[in-house]
Amino acid sequence: MNNKQITIVEVAREAGVSIATVSNVLNKRNVPMAPETAAKVEEAAARLGYRRNTVAASLSRRKTNELGLLLPGFGGYYGQFAEAMELTAHRHGYHLSVYATGSDPEREQRHLETLLERRVDGLFCHGMAMKPESVGRIVRGGSPLVLFNAWEWPEDLAVAAVNLDFAGASAEAVRHLVERGCRTVYYAGTSKALMIDRQRRLGFRREADRLGDQVRTGMIHSEAGDPEEQVTTAAAEALAEGGPVGILAFDDRMALRILGRLLQAGIRVPEEVKLLGINNEWFSAAAYPTLTSMSIPYEKQAELAIHRLLSHLGEAEDGKDLPQAKGEVTVPLELTPRRSTEA
């Protein structure tokens, strides 16, 4: 068996190009080059079985082309965002290692140690997962950090924060319900996602204050018991005074549970209650009636996060519609109307 390590010199000879050209192609450098030339190098490398020595490359260039992402878990929004981040990183020539912390400080520390030992070029983290002491270690270690969905972090701890506009989405949801005749609107939230829930409540309250006497509003949270049952009871009582009643749920999963409770209670959706969720998960279009939701632009948030980091590293190209300023950037959600609010 031939265990000889193939070098870029041999790849250059096989492809009939210079060693510099091979290096540019294999390291995915952004230099002018004919597509045919790049293809010739990649085909030669594949024929010879060339494998890039990432350790040697990182030592010589002080760059690993590795990025790290820490988030609470892989379910729902987090899983879809992680996939969008991985695809975006790959498109920019980077490998992304993704770890779920379960919001457990011990797991977070272990994953963080692994990423820092691998000398990743940058880190991404969900605002709720990272503990302040961990952030301090990252900053002291010199690895640039980009946060997503972090609303109250000191700017000196991170390169940027790319936040979904959940407050704006909640305000738009209230307007959508009121425009469809709802004069009583409830928000059903959860204490399990404190900061994200707070943003939703902020937008809900802001729009309610703006509307004034035009609408009655109420907030129901899971910490006070079963929110689905409480919302159903509140909706039934409000219907006695005239409907329809509007309900904004924390996310589509809660909206689906509320939908089931309403139907069990004999309350018609959307004729008597108009129901709206957030995240636009796949089952929202399969429910009956289908659920109106606020859609998250995963690819846009991922592109902004990667672009912010690469800009800090001096590697980002000018992107269309991508803000260049440091600090926080807010990504709006998009209303996807369906049957649950359309009578």
- Chain position carrying tokens 């079963």: 226
Instruction: Indicate which CATH number applies to the domain containing 20.
Output: 1.10.260.40
pLDDT at 2 over 50: no
Banded model confidence at residue 244, pLDDT cuts 50, 70, 90 = very high
Please indicate, yes or no, if residue 313 is contained in any of the structural domains.
yes
pLDDT at 312 over 60: yes
- Higher pLDDT among residues 74 and 177, named by residue: 177
Burial per residue of 297-328, b for 16 or more beta-carbon CB atoms within 10 angstroms, e otherwise: ebebbbbbbbbbbbbbeebbeeeeebeeeeee
Say whether both 171 and 290 belong to one domain: yes
Please indicate, yes or no, if residue 60 is contained in any of the structural domains.
no
**Structural domain span for residue 140:** 66-164+298-332
pLDDT averaged over every residue in the chain: 84
Quick: pLDDT tens for 263-282: 999 999 999 999 999 999 99
Say whether both 158 and 304 belong to one domain: yes
Per the structure, the count of domains in the chain is: 3
Say whether both 160 and 302 belong to one domain: yes
Say whether both 290 and 306 belong to one domain: no
Query: Which distant-in-sequence residues (6+ apart) come within 8 Å of 211 by Cβ?
Result: 174, 178
Please indicate, yes or no, if residue 1 is contained in any of the structural domains.
no
Give 61-65 contacts, CB < 8 A, sequence gap 24+: 63/121, 64/118, 64/119, 64/120, 64/121, 65/27, 65/28, 65/93, 65/94, 65/95, 65/121
Residue 328: its pLDDT value, please?
84
Say whether both 275 and 172 belong to one domain: yes
* Cα-to-chain-centroid distance, residue 306: 12
Average pLDDT over residues 236-261: 93
Q: What percent of the chain has pLDDT over 90?
A: 45
Instruction: Indicate which CATH number applies to the domain containing 160.
Output: 3.40.50.2300
- Higher pLDDT among residues 87 and 144, named by residue: 87
Partners of 123 in the beta sheet? 68, 145
Banded model confidence at residue 221, pLDDT cuts 50, 70, 90 = confident
Say whether both 224 and 105 belong to one domain: no
Residue 204: its pLDDT value, please?
97
Highest mean pLDDT among 57-71, 92-106, 130-144, 250-264: 250-264
Residue 130: its pLDDT value, please?
59
pLDDT at 102 over 90: no
Residue 151: its pLDDT value, please?
84
Quick: pLDDT tens for 157-213: 788 899 999 999 999 999 999 999 999 999 999 877 778 899 999 999 999 999 998
- Report the 3 state secondary structure along the chain: CCCCCCCHHHHHHHHCCCHHHHHHHHCCCCCCCCHHHHHHHHHHHHHHCCCCCHHHHHHHHCCCCEEEEEECCCCHHHHHHHHHHHHHHHHCCCEEEEEECCCCHHHHHHHHHHHHHCCCCEEEEECCCCCHHHHHHHHHHCCCEEEECCCCCCHHHCCEEEEECHHHHHHHHHHHHHHCCCCEEEEEECCCCHHHHHHHHHHHHHHHHHHHHHCEEEEEEHHHCCHHHHHHHHHHHHHCCCCCEEEEECCHHHHHHHHHHHHHCCCCCCCCEEEEEEECCHHHHCCCCCCEEEECCHHHHHHHHHHHHHHHCCCCCCCCCCCCCCEEEEECCEEECCHHHCC
Say whether both 291 and 173 belong to one domain: yes
> What's the Rg (C-alpha) of the chain?
25
Highest mean pLDDT among 123-127, 145-149, 220-224: 145-149
160 phi-psi bin (left φ>0, alpha ψ -120 to 50, beta other)? beta
- Chain position carrying tokens 């590293």: 313
Question: Is the distance from CB of 147 to CB of 162 less than 8 angstroms?
Answer: yes
Average pLDDT over residues 53-80: 74
Nearest to 231 by CA among 207, 198, 260: 260
Q: What percent of the chain has pLDDT over 70?
A: 84
Banded model confidence at residue 155, pLDDT cuts 50, 70, 90 = low
pLDDT at 67 over 80: yes
Say whether both 267 and 318 belong to one domain: no
Length of the chain as a residue count: 343
Q: How far apart are CA 114 and CA 118, in angstroms?
A: 6
Say whether both 282 and 222 belong to one domain: yes
pLDDT at 326 over 70: no
pLDDT at 316 over 70: no
Residue 3: its pLDDT value, please?
47
